[in-house]
Amino acid sequence: MKLKQKINQYISDALANAAINVEQVNVVEAGKPEFGDYQFNGIMPLAKKLRRNPREIAAEVAEQIDTGGVIRKAEVAGPGFINLWLDDIWLGEETGRILSDPRIGVEKKPDPVKVVIDYSGPNMAKQMHVGHLRSTIIGDTLSNLLTFLGDEVIRQNHIGDWGTQFGMLIAYLEEIGEDTGSENLKDLEQFYKDAKGRFDEDAAFADKAREYVVKIQSGDPHCLVLWKRFIDISLGHCEEIYEKLNVSLAREDVRAESFYNEKLPKVVEALDKKGKLQMSEGAKCVFLEDEEIPVIIQKGDGGYLYATTDLAALWFRSEVLGAKRISYVVDARQAGHFKQVFRVARESGLVGEDVLLEHIAFGTMMDKGGRPFKTREGGTVKLADLLDEAVVRAKEAIKAKDAYDPAALENLARIVGIGAVKYADLSINRESNYIFDWEKMLSLEGNTSLYQQYAYARIMSIFRKYDGEIRGRIVIGNEIEHRLSLLLLRFDDLLERAAKDAAPHQITSYLYDVTTLFMRFYEQNPILKEEVGEETRQSRLALSALTANVIRQGLSILGIGVVERL
């Protein structure tokens, strides 16, 4: 339910009835409970234009607000605010309605578009490390979110499978034999080091490696077989990580760098035709106005750079895939690169005017001391290790360890631990640097995934005890039920805004509000106690069930699971 839109309509109608012209009405959620549920602040800016007293205008408008159904009361306050209270009967009906809706009242977009989301993008020459974490989980969350809202999301995993180091790796793979190689590849870091070692110590090997680069690029069948074998194994490692992370990137989402290889000359040609190319210091470049650094399209030696690949990918995504929104979930440090590439794509007509291009930038992952996240030795932290540690730590943190058999405990620890890692990351504004702190994310207090999971488990516990169908209406009986219902009804508005801003932290923030409010409701409003009347009991059960649905669905968008018991 587009609640805000609905309220806006009421205000628009009232303004029209009061013969006041406003282009855009925008109510906001009231800052304090005593100001009601929503407030309209648009009168004050008007007053000046109309040379009238804002309170007077506000009173005239408030008079016109239909308080027969959705809105119970409209009140003028302060210098000219209009505070709005929603009607309890209406709230009860609406929450009851979305309880029986599998989509929890979240409407599908009337105008869905094709969206390409480019995320994760691991390098096939290296094992996935913490540097890939944020892109992977933020990108996956946005994909889930937009899919849920009805857009046609095309996930694109732009893996790095091309480049000079692959000649070396393939030469080494061939040298030690494919079967041994598959085994050794378990530790890509080591494999890379070993290959590099051979490259440095053995000139013949080095020559062979260079030869392989040329051969791969010219399409030599044998080398391509080896190369594909290497990518396959390496990608398999990534998929294990995705599996652990509960990230839904699959083989068919992979559109590797190499895929664009044959399209690169066409990009150059297209830019040249548009008269965008200029030779500079031997390289083919595009110079943009007000940019001191050109975008190099083709190097002096004929080779291509990643800007060219990105342009080819942009063309492919808009022209072939038909995307109207193309989102890159990439480290904020590449802002300059994307700004330039997007401009080149637009100015050259490679991508149409109607396509939204966005760089979904995120900050760097830091340690507790505010320095880039590294191992104690200063190396990069492998994602596999980090996730294993999360599960181990979660297992440690689970209070009633003894109540579970080992398999159940393992499963629980996985859901809690991985959820904690993801939630901690998703719950802060993606653009700022993010401080990774085990204690905080697994301290299990405050705005964490476990707090949500705990609330969910508590609700499940109520239903285990009740063991029956909900068969009554929702009847708002007090202030806290009023606020909880209203918050649950805002789910649609919230998701819409989070999607527009590509901001997962708005979802966690919302879920935290829901959970906190539910905890208060739970403490103050007995449900299954003897003294509670049947109508009230059914109403509270329904509100609890709806809260559980919102938590489960919200966490599901974040790629985080819930458990029945904790």
Residues 476-515 within binding reach of RNA (CB under 7 A) = 497, 501, 503, 505-506, 509, 512
Q: With binding defined as CB under 7 A, does residue 374 bind RNA?
A: no
Residue list 300-329, contact with RNA (CB under 7 A): 300-301, 303-306, 309
Q: Quote the least distance from Cβ 176 to RNA, whole Å.
A: 25
Return the closest-CA partner of residue 554 out of 501, 512, 497, 520. 512
Q: Which of 9, 18, 25, 29 binds RNA (CB under 7 A)?
A: 29
Helix, strand or coil for residue 37?
coil
Decide if 225 contacts 181 (C-beta within 8 A). Answer: no
3-state helix, strand, coil in the chain (%, to 5): 55, 10, 30
Cβ proximity to RNA: between 58 and 184 the closer is: 58
Sign of CA dihedral 400, 406, 408, 412: positive
Cβ proximity to RNA: between 109 and 565 the closer is: 565
Options 124-132, 158-166, 314-322, 375-383: segment touching RNA (CB under 7 A):
158-166
Long-range contacts of 24-29 (CB under 8 A, 24+ apart): 27/84, 29/490
**Cα(178)–Cα(192) distance, rounded to whole angstroms?**
15
Cβ proximity to RNA: between 219 and 336 the closer is: 336
In the block, residue with structure tokens 């299954």: 528
Residue list 45-104, contact with RNA (CB under 7 A): 45, 48, 77-79, 81, 83
Please list the residues that pair with 75 across neighbouring strands. 83
Q: What is the size of the binding site for RNA (CB under 7 A)?
A: 95
Q: Which of 450, 470, 484, 557 binds RNA (CB under 7 A)?
A: 450
Please list the residues that pair with 77 across neighbouring strands. 81
Enumerate the H helices of 84-132 as residue ranges. Answer: 88-99
Cβ proximity to RNA: between 226 and 426 the closer is: 426
**Cα(1)–Cα(108) distance, rounded to whole angstroms?**
10
Q: Quote the least distance from Cβ 414 to RNA, whole Å.
A: 14
Determine the Cα angle at 6 with ends 5 and 11, to 5°. Answer: 95
Sign of CA dihedral 97, 100, 104, 107: negative
Interaction pattern, residues 278-297, with RNA; x per rule: CB under 7 A: --xxxx-x------xxx-x-
Q: With binding defined as CB under 7 A, does residue 2 bind RNA?
A: no
Q: Which of 119, 230, 373, 451 binds RNA (CB under 7 A)?
A: 451
Q: Which of 14, 360, 398, 418 binds RNA (CB under 7 A)?
A: 398
Rg of the Cα atoms in the chain: 28
**Cα(163)–Cα(154) distance, rounded to whole angstroms?**
26
Q: With binding defined as CB under 7 A, does residue 472 bind RNA?
A: no
Q: 334-367: b or e for each residue (b if 16 or more CB lie within 10 Å)?
A: eeebbebbbbbbeebebbeeebebebbbbbbbee
Residue list 420-449, contact with RNA (CB under 7 A): 427-429, 431-435, 440, 443-447
Q: Which of 6, 35, 224, 261 binds RNA (CB under 7 A)?
A: 35
Cβ proximity to RNA: between 155 and 540 the closer is: 540
Q: Quote the least distance from Cβ 444 to RNA, whole Å.
A: 4
Q: Which of 96, 122, 160, 554 binds RNA (CB under 7 A)?
A: 160
Residue list 325-354, contact with RNA (CB under 7 A): 332-337
Q: With binding defined as CB under 7 A, does residue 26 bind RNA?
A: yes
Residue list 171-190, contact with RNA (CB under 7 A): none
Options 21-29, 233-241, 384-392, 471-479: segment touching RNA (CB under 7 A):
21-29
Q: Which of 53, 180, 461, 478 binds RNA (CB under 7 A)?
A: 461
